[in-house]
Amino acid sequence: MSPHSLIALLVAATAALPLVHAASPLNVSFPPTPSKDALWNVVEDNFIGVSYELSSFSTLWGETKSLQPNAMQNYMHNLKVRMANPLRIRIGGNGMDGSIYQSNLTIPIEHIDPDAYFNDIPVHFGPLLFDIMNGMSDKVGDMQFMVGLAMRDPDFSNGVEFGKAARDKLGDRLDVLMLGNEPDLYDGHEHRPGYNISDYIPEVGRFINELTDAGALVEGVPQVGGPTICCAWDLDDVLEAGLLDYPFKYFTVQRYPNHNCGGETDSNTNISAYLSHPNVGEYLGLRSGIGHAKEAGIPLILSEYNSVACGGSKISDTFAMSLWAADVGLKAAAMNYSAIYLHTREQGIKYNLFDPPSPETATESGWRTGSPYYGALFLSEVVAPEGSVIEDLNLNNSNSNTNATVSAFGIYDQRGKKRSKLALFNFARNGTQIFALPSGLSDTLEYRLLAAPSVEERTNITWAGQTVGDNGNLEGEQQTITMNCRNGCVLDIPGPGAALVVLGSQVLWTGNSTIAGIGGYLSGVGSSSPWLGLLAAIVAGISFMLA
């Protein structure tokens, strides 16, 4: 029996056999309708997106349109196939704000400073970048791109040139142009000493005018995003200072609960802090800014998040972060965020969603799947195609009870009109938790588990009984557990773990989402090798037909 078959068997056995319960049963109350506050925010089924650091983008997505890693095609398609709307992709990061677009560059990205600080890597980049983006979307399915424009240099001419090229090359796939990256840190990082909100607001107006004059924007049509702040400025202060006067499509913020910029500490390696649901609400915060955005009718987006800034810490690749990433996503939706983007970077960063075997062998198999990717898989199945409303059910006073080891969310489909799903989390380090559902919810239900042996686990992680192979492919039999719930029922959720519960049946996505064949292109063999390209195309085609 293969290891993946054994995993599937163990997941099925978890549902079928009586277990030793480490915690008292909890009665789950799922109100027939969401609260008025929750109804403010209908999220689309592409609520979860992926954010990429510009400097590593071509390593991960390929150097040419015809030579794109099979693993990345599978990683992206695993998410896209579970959505009706385009998969959200953001390209930017700290290095983007110091990078230069060169229209005559013959490679997608050129590294220009071998001694650059690893958290701020500037590059030159050219129009082949758009070919790579379009090529992946052609292979995987519809995508929509958020593209960062540099604002650190007050001369915006290069950003305007790039913005116009993005509009021309990406067309309808261009979702929004992001103006700058973390301008609240320009002063602290000594890029622009003394820079503050009063400097930022008029520059935004000037940048928008220059983009409009160049044809990158249509006057009066919201096509920009910002302020993309993280740390030193409050969103409410920026909005009140004048940002509301400009035609923004999204307001954006970037949040990390901890950082590793100066090395590992007790704080950034405290795994227990990431298993505490009250900490999630505090981390997402911004309550006054959230309210301000809501009143303005402009979606608020978390354009970059992950566990520990500056590359993560030794806990960033553990199963705790699979649970945390999913809990953050649901809590953000309940707090009026319209979309969230999990951030990933160059090979070797601890919090990455995925890593190639090396930067030079990215087109081959042998990829490592990071634990946050499993959280993204979980979130990709939560929201209905027509949009859903998500409400934190505050189970066991989990919003404020620091001793609570659970959280629970109610998902209302049909844009808030119908109780449809529950997301149940058990953060306990060991022992199952009984979640008791009342009668009258549904005659039957189905659920899938996000599971691992421990919160410290790094590789033996499963979603619906499947784990991700070294080519981005889901391995093992997809497991969905069915129960009769006419007179109420109890769910035993192993700790640590989480369940996505569907009232009724036939709602969760089923099938094989692998589209690119096992293996990849050989290192050192260029796209000029027709037989290799033909073989790869044949294998990919067969995989797609079997999907």
pLDDT tens, 310-355?
999 999 999 999 999 999 999 999 999 999 999 999 999 999 999 9
Q: What is d(CA 387, CA 411) in angstroms, rounded to the nearest whole number?
A: 10
Q: Return the pLDDT at 541.
A: 44
Class of domain 46-261+273-384: alpha beta
Q: Return the pLDDT at 156.
A: 98
Q: Pairing mode, if any, of strands 474-475 and 100-101?
A: unpaired
Question: Could you give the angle at which helices 128-140 and 70-80 cross, rounded to 10 degrees?
Answer: 60
Q: Return the pLDDT at 519.
A: 54
DSSP letter at 366 equals -
Q: What is the mean pLDDT of residues 105-125?
A: 95
**Mean pLDDT, the chain, integer:** 91
CB 95 within 8 A of CB 53: yes
Name residues whose C-beta falls within 8 Å of residue 208's C-beta, 6 or more positions apart in sequence: 179, 217, 224, 246, 247
Q: What is the mean pLDDT of residues 493-517?
A: 92
Top pLDDT among 87 and 3 is at: 87
Task: Give the pair of three-digit tokens for residue 259.
Answer: 């950082």
CB 324 within 8 A of CB 281: no
Is 406's pLDDT higher than 50? Answer: yes
Is 16's pLDDT higher than 90? Answer: no
Domain boundaries, the chain: 26-32+392-509, 46-261+273-384
Q: What is d(CA 476, CA 468) in angstroms, rounded to the nearest whole number?
A: 9
Is 234's pLDDT higher than 60? Answer: yes
Q: Which of 52, 54, 80, 58 is nearest to 472 (CA)?
A: 80
Is 225's pLDDT higher than 50? Answer: yes
* pLDDT tens sequence across 262-319: 999 999 999 999 999 999 999 998 777 888 998 999 999 999 999 999 999 999 999 9
Q: Which of 363, 356, 409, 355 is nearest to 382 (CA)?
A: 409
CB 331 within 8 A of CB 382: no
DSSP letter at 348 equals T
* pLDDT tens sequence across 44-54: 999 999 999 99
Confidence of residue 4 (pLDDT cuts 50, 70, 90): very low
Top pLDDT among 325 and 20 is at: 325
Q: Return the pLDDT at 521.
A: 54
Q: Is 231 left (phi over 0), alpha (psi -120 to 50) or beta?
A: alpha
Q: Return the pLDDT at 288.
A: 79
Is 9's pLDDT higher than 80? Answer: no
Query: Could you tell me which residues are beta bridge partners of residue 412?
Result: 389, 419
Q: What is d(CA 547, CA 480) in angstroms, rounded to the nearest whole number?
A: 18
Q: What is the mean pLDDT of residues 484-489?
A: 96
Which of 2-11, 236-245, 428-437, 475-484 is predicted with the least confidence, judged by mean pLDDT?
2-11
Q: What is the pTM of this model?
A: 0.91
3-state class of 52 per DSSP?
strand
Percent of the chain with pLDDT over 90: 85
Nearest-5° Cα angle at 250, 244 to 253: 95
Q: Return the pLDDT at 520.
A: 54
What is the architecture, at CATH level 2, of domain 26-32+392-509?
Answer: Sandwich (2.60)
Q: What is the mean pLDDT of residues 149-169?
A: 97
DSSP letter at 135 equals H
For 342, the enclosing helix (H) or strand (E) is strand 337-344
CB 378 within 8 A of CB 327: no
Q: What is the mean pLDDT of residues 441-467?
A: 97
Name residues whose C-beta falls within 8 Å of residue 545's C-beta, 6 or more positions apart in sequence: none
Q: Return the pLDDT at 505.
A: 78
Which of 143-157, 237-251, 532-546 is predicted with the least confidence, judged by mean pLDDT?
532-546
DSSP letter at 8 equals H
417-420 CB contacts, 8 Å cutoff, 24+ apart: 419/30, 419/32, 419/503, 420/384, 420/388, 420/502, 420/503, 420/504, 420/507
Confidence of residue 22 (pLDDT cuts 50, 70, 90): low
Whether 46-261+273-384 and 26-32+392-509 are alike in CATH topology: the answer is no
Q: What is d(CA 491, CA 344) in angstroms, rounded to the nearest whole number?
A: 34
Q: Return the pLDDT at 5.
A: 42
CB 108 within 8 A of CB 171: no
**C-alpha dihedral, 349 to 355 to 359 to 365, nearest 10°:** 160
